[in-house]
Chain A
Amino acid sequence: MVSVTEMQTMYEQMVTARYYEERLQEEYLVGKQPAFDISAGPIPGELHLAAGHESSGAGVCIHLRDDDTVTAPHRPHHIAIAKGVDLKKMTAEIFGRETGLCRGKGGHMHLFDPDVNFACSGIIAQGCPPAVGAAMAAKKRNTDSVAVAFLGEGAIDQGGFLESLNLAAVQDLPVVFVIEDNDWAISMPKDRVTDVEDGSRRAWGFDMPGERVDSDDAVAVYEAAEKAIMRARDGNGPSLIEVQVHRRMGHFMGDAEAYRPEADIERAKQRDSIERLADDLRAHGVEDDELDEIRERAHERVDEAIAWAKEQPEPDPSTAYENVFTNPPAQTATDGGANTSDASSDGDEGGDR
């Protein structure tokens, strides 16, 4: 049973995640208006924001410890926040700074935080097999750690996901797969790419429990995740959960969503898991003052992280050659000297215009 304290924790993580995405959106659009140039501004490249997905990250990760592993997809921020990834270093990474989680080499789709065993990656279903591997390690070492692989509903047609379900099932591994169903794989609605409306039914073919949480209810996510994670921790094998979420900010920043019916966009905006959880908290006697306080604290933390990140140094170009190997060979095939003259010949920050 969820406690009021736990609900407050989830609420704090969810408002942190929402505000984080709103602030990143602002920062991302700097230098990109009115002409949207993906390579301009302080945050270049693709940016996939998770506004509308918060209940999933918070409702699942609240059951996890630092030694539990999480893999997340290309839309990772809400999960990273709920897993306890260092917000400042994560933000610095998104801004491409030397002190970012990955020294500016990964960016927002590729955040790695070994302190809390978090990783995310940019290709569909890519995180599923490594989550199975983390679970394998936990089982072999007789720890009670678990692994959770998050993926979008677009990923449930991918071989890497289906193979992972089977491997996890046949070896009874402590791993939970969490499908975040936001109805859209970029421009492809779920019903046009799979005949199975309820993605959790994918579990049945592997003799694994599967459960769908059909609403934006963080408490319902909490309950489904609790069952699955306890099952994994107790050595009883893997589970699959599908959570209904909503995509409020397009697939990536710059996606005008011309393919998406206006009504669907509106509906996604109206269903707000954060407001719903706030109502639940009020029903449990939590005062508006307390909610305001939580929100202010969350906003302050996000603003601080962003301000800190923007003050961090850009990576020195010479660091591009570091970290290819943990134990670099004495002489690599390329000495890296070929391009050390001024490589930034594209001139201005806008890239190759």
Chain B
Amino acid sequence: MTDAIDVDSASVWPDDADDVDEGYLANWFVREGSAVDEGETIGEMQVEKVSIDVTAPTNGTVTEILVAEGGEFTRGDVLARIQPSA
């Protein structure tokens, strides 16, 4: 079994928010156990009042949601983990 893949907040961080490190998880559109496709919008985060879609890095199943809806995080924090489908 391959390792779960991180949904990394840094990888979706907006270019024009380089001076900021705090984010806020506004919405999840999936739950643990949800099947997702690569590129699918699975959540929405907010940085400096701008909403940014969080997309799935791979096809698979969401195994862990690490930052809860309404939760705050720092750039680089892992938001969720996805187990790639075989």
Instruction: Assess whether B72 is in contact with A256, with CB atoms less than 8 Å apart.
Output: no
Range, interface on chain A: 10 to 19
Main secondary structure of the interface of A (DSSP, over half): loop
Chain A, 195-252, CB within 8 A of any chain B CB: none
Instruction: Assess whether A35 is in contact with B24, with CB atoms less than 8 Å apart.
Output: yes
Q: How far is the CB of A137 from chain B (nearest CB, A)?
A: 44
Instruction: Assess whether B72 is in contact with A35, with CB atoms less than 8 Å apart.
Output: yes
Complex CA–CA separation, A34 to B22 (angstroms): 6
The answer to the question of A36 belonging to the interface, with a C-beta cut-off of 8 Å to chain B, is: yes
Complex CA–CA separation, A353 to B24 (angstroms): 14
Main secondary structure of the interface of B (DSSP, over half): strand
Instruction: Assess whether B70 is in contact with A36, with CB atoms less than 8 Å apart.
Output: no
The answer to the question of B23 belonging to the interface, with a C-beta cut-off of 8 Å to chain A, is: yes
Range, interface on chain B: 10 to 19
**Which listed residue, A36, A255, A258, A262, touches B46 by the CB 8 Å rule?**
A36
Contact of A258 with B23 at beta-carbon distance under 8 Å, contacts A34-B72, A35-B70, A35-B72 already known: no
The answer to the question of A160 belonging to the interface, with a C-beta cut-off of 8 Å to chain B, is: no
Instruction: Assess whether A254 is in contact with B49, with CB atoms less than 8 Å apart.
Output: yes
Chain B, 10-26, CB within 8 A of any chain A CB: 16, 22-24, 26
Contacts of A34 in B (CB 8 A): 22-24, 72
Q: Which residues of A contact B (CB under 8 A)?
A: 33-36, 254-256, 258, 262, 353
Known contacts A36-B46, A255-B49, A256-B50; can you find 5 more A-B pairs with CB under 8 A?
A33-B22, A34-B72, A35-B26, A35-B72, A254-B49
